[in-house]
Amino acid sequence: MITTKYYQTWAEYLAAHPEISFKEEKVMAPVMQKYEDAFFDFIMYLCI
Amino acid sequence: MSDLAQLSQERTQLFQDVYDGKIPKRVPMVNLLTHEFCIEYAGLDLTEAQWQLAKVFDEVGDKACRDFPSDILPLFGIRFPSVYRLLGARNFVMSSTGFIQHPEVVGMDVEDYDAMIASPYDCIVERVLPRLYTELARDPVHKAAAMAKAYKAYNDEFATVGAVYGKLAQKYGYANFPLFAGMCQAPFDLLTDQLRSFKGILADIRRIPEKVEAAVEALTPLMIKMATTSPCGKYLAKFIPLHMGPYMRTEDFEKLYWPTLKRTVEGIREKGSPSFLYVEGHMMRYLDYLYELPENTILWFEYGDPKVIKEKLGKKHIITGLYPLVSLKTDTKQQCVDRAKELIDIMAPGGKYFFMLDKTPLTLDNINPENLQAVADYVINHTYY
């Protein structure tokens, strides 16, 4: 688990956005998490 | 099944057997050539080609694959000038000859240790990256634009080379087996390379070792995550190049380098993947530490005594490397092949071994290509168990 302002798990994002419906969540979750992880990968790539 | 599909399947089985601790049909041959080497081999200008990969990489990759036998795709490159130029990089700069060089930079000041320990990712984003990349030190709008452009370039360049990799893997019947399926660094190396710098970290070890220790502990979950955002599995090894060990006193290595490297490798294993460590430099004094790593860690040695390495580590771990690149430059063809035979006679018995050079050739003049071709031919055709 990493502690940061700049990365959110899907669970954290969902907690901050209660307006998201169950139907949206099913399809949104993997997409949103994918982009969150992809950006994390890019930031770490810039450090190596 | 086509001949190429059959060949790919046989090659895949070689690596799966090695990774599973079984004796393969023969010693697998891994050639690993950087994009820069391949561009020079293709006779192209290094500067121009790296800015035009979409136009030239098909030809560049194909020539290298055609001429350098390998059981696995032999191409490797992760640095693209477009990304670094768009960000105003100070840490990766293209020289007049076209090589991307890495000047010693300090991304993290000694005053940043507390922030790094409290939240490494925040510290990297807020303090380190703006020092390494000048465009990320500008106002928010320019910073966001630079990041967007660089991220687009990063994805475009990897997509370009990735498409060529896929096409060539099919064309040449390579193993359906990635050598590296992700990467990270040892936490201590991350803290050193672009953050505190070589000179800085050696001073920190003396002056504030407790902060160094806390910082590498804080960086460990970040490294595990970095390696494991890509898919994990028993054949999806994560690459970890090791840097600082040879330059440290053993007592500092034991306290500050080793524990978090070990925890990183274990954390990656918990997610399902082995680690593929490049044991760079002179690391023979650390063999007992390497033994402690999870079984079937892949250890690519640059230097060392093959007999001792095989004896101490070869039953538990997968060993590769140790064939001197310099030999391919200085020796005759027959001497190169004889040296390969001698190494394989030591390393191959019992399995858990594949053939690889001690380091990747970076430029064309690092080797005599005919010698590498001869060695690869020998490994592929004359090393049946």
Rounded to a whole number of angstroms, the CA Rg of chain B reads 21
Tokens for B208, please give them: 């504030």
Share of chain B above pLDDT 70, in %: 100
Q: Contact at 8 Å (CB) between B26 and B384?
A: yes
Domain positions in chain A are: 10-45
User: What's the CA gap between B376 and B363, in Å, rounded?
Assistant: 18
Chain B CB within 8 Å of residue A9 CB = no
Contact A2 B185 (CB under 8 A): no
Which of B120, B82, B115, B127 lies closest to B100, judged by CA? B82
User: Is B120 close to A2, i.e. CB distance below 8 A?
Assistant: yes
Task: Kindly report the nearest CA distance between residue A8 and chain B, in angstroms.
Answer: 12
Q: Which residue of A has its CA nearest to B105?
A: A47
Are the Cβ atoms of A39 and B125 closer than 8 angstroms? no
Chain A CB contacts of B121 under 8 Å are: 2-4, 6-7, 40, 43
- Smallest Cβ distance to B121: which of A2, A41, A42? A2
List pLDDT tens digits, range B292-329: 999 999 999 999 999 999 999 999 999 999 999 999 99
Which two three-digit tokens encode residue B363? 């430029």
Q: Is A1 a residue whose pLDDT tops 80?
A: no
Chain A neighbours among B 194-223 (CB < 8 Å)? 194-195, 221-222
CB of A4 within 8 Å of any CB in chain B? yes
Q: What is the rounded CA–CA span in Å between residue B39 and residue B17?
A: 33
Cα within 13 Å of Cα(B141), Cβ side: 0
pLDDT tens figures, B46-61: 999 999 999 999 999 9
Strand order in the sheet with B275-279: B238-242, B275-279, B298-301, B318-321
Convert B335-353 to b/e letters by CB count within 10 Å (16 or more is b): ebbebbeebbebbbeebbb
Find, among B184, B165, B183, the residue nearest to B175 by Cα. B165
Residue A2 pLDDT grade (very low, low, confident, very high; cuts 50, 70, 90): confident
Whole-complex ipTM? 0.94
Tens digits of residue pLDDT in B240-250: 999 999 999 99
| Joined tokens for residue A33 | 């998490």
CA distance B303 to B42: 30
